[in-house]
Amino acid sequence: MSATQSVYVAPAVVSSSTTLTASPASTTAGQQITLTAEVETSGGAANPTGTVTFSSGGITLGRVALNSNSIAAITLSSAGMTPGSYPVIAKYSGDAYNLPSTSTLAKVTLEAVTTTTLQVTPTNPAPGQSVSLVATVARQQSAGNAAGTVSYSLDGYTFGTATLNAHGVATLVFPTTGIPAGTYSVLATFEGTALDQQSISAPVTITVQ
Per run of 10 residues, the mean pLDDT along the chain (length 209 residues) is 58 90 95 97 83 97 97 96 96 95 97 97 95 98 95 96 98 93 97 96 97
Helix (H) or strand (E) holding 55: strand 51-56
Say if residue 124 is in the same domain as residue 161: yes
Say if residue 105 is in the same domain as residue 119: no
Domain of residue 69 covers 16-111
In-domain check, residue 9? no
In-domain check, residue 58? yes
Say if residue 151 is in the same domain as residue 95: no
Number of helical H runs and strand E runs in the chain: 0, 17
Say if residue 101 is in the same domain as residue 153: no
Q: Give the model's pLDDT for residue 181.
A: 94
Say if residue 156 is in the same domain as residue 146: yes
3-state secondary structure of 6: coil
CATH number at residue 182: 2.60.40.10
> Is-contact 121 129, C-beta < 8 A?
no
Q: Which pTM was predicted?
A: 0.81
**What are the strands, taking DSSP E only, across 103-190?**
106-111, 113-121, 130-140, 149-154, 157-163, 169-175, 182-190
* Helices within the chain (DSSP H only): none
Say if residue 56 is in the same domain as residue 127: no
Q: Give the model's pLDDT for residue 6.
A: 65
